[in-house]
Structure 1
Amino acid sequence: MTETARPAYKRVLLKISGEALMGDQGYGLHPPTVQRIAKEIKIVQAMGVEICMVIGGGNIFRGLAGSAQGMERTTADYMGMLATVMNALAMQSALEGVGVFTRVISAIRMDEVAEPYIRRRAVRHLEKGRVCIFAAGTGNPYFTTDTAATLRASEMSCQAIFMGKNGVDGVYDKDPKTNPDAKRYDAVSFDEVLRKNLRVMDASAIALARDNKLPIIVFSLDEPGGFRGILSGQGTYTTVSG
């Protein structure tokens, strides 16, 4: 890749799990990992790509897990949304530490720490070269951050969703961590993902992406340079599209 390489997309949404921020700790935030991702985003932004983000909260609290343990589902989901705000603030700090102007935009009002979600304002931030991190999911229980990512990407007129996975460099026909013979798809359709129950996103998020003709690119977040490499047509990944 050269510095003058033309990126494949002008505006993208990067979706990463909360677990991606905890490194090998097993819980919470691992600052060197957060900083590494921030540096990668800075390089991609320097290529002329407008970037927005959605970060999960599973490294701190996962609403569905809380519900499974007897907690009331709505309360558990709101707790999960607050965890995503914590992760968004951590990523904002790391990005601004490397000189990238960033806005955390929350679906739940908390004016002291984040902007409220206003679509036209968020679009303007992107046009001005700021990274927008959408926090607190959709602001509603029973919806995952996968659905929030697809919704925000559609609202922002993104050209693709980049799904950064931990230790997996695409979509496989079965779990490659437990099945050495698992085969990776170079490309797969939305309908096939739903029919075969391939674990890319939850079904409602896949259906929303399909209806809005929004491709999903699944790649490994552990591979240094993976995000910028794919934008230049390199690397290993799976494209989910119509």
Structure 2
Amino acid sequence: MSQRSRARMAEKETDRSRALSAIDPWWNPPWPLAWQRAYHHARKQCGSNQLLVPGDGFAGVGAAAASWLYAQCALFEELDPRQQGLLREIGITAEVAQARQTARYHRTGARIDFAVGLAHARDYVGVHGHLALPHPVQHNGFPLGRWLASKRGEAGAHARRTPAPWPGMQALAALDPWWFPPWAFAWQRDYHRLRLLLAAGLEPPPKLRSWINEQLAQLQTLLPGQQRLLQELKDLPV
């Protein structure tokens, strides 16, 4: 730690930093040291000559390391190219990362990394176009409905404590601006159920027909966001 501090303060490479780089080129990485430690922990579990195989759930790797590796797959494109190079050495390429993001989730008992949930949310939106899924819904074995409900709970609790934005808000809002709507979540689910039926050219059941008639009758009392969403239904075949 002392040598890292000296190296960062030095204007150019010193004899000491060159000597340490000869032992380990990444002894003083430009990214957080915690990442480097986690990488070596995962690499050690992979074995000296064993590459990770996509789709196997990181079999044989501990729960904490598996969760970390899954997060690296989800964030692969955002990593420093040199970090990507280190991951390639254990078999995680851009192609593997993309495949692993959408591979079936394997329960490990470890705390779910936010990037893991975000990767599944991104894949779900790519298919369905929204994140208004019911609590029990799973995506490739991942409890996405429950995970999103917990994130909405965290965001709501954060908003009650402070006006500062909740850390995960921007990432989820980029996938679905109404993932955490300011109105009842049941309204959002009914809206997307109706939208799906109309887009497929199917007749909504009586309950949904009654729901949309009620919304249109009280349109001016709804929030602007709700009004915009209902306006979009006019572009769908009925």
Q: When the two structures are superposed, what TM-score results if normalisation uses the length of structure 2? A: 0.25
Q: When the two structures are superposed, what TM-score results if normalisation uses the length of structure 1? A: 0.24
Task: Tell which structure's C-alpha radius of gyration is larger.
Answer: 2
> Which structure carries more relative contact order (alpha carbon 8 Å, separation 6+)?
1
- Would you tell me which structure has more strand in proportion to its own residues? 1
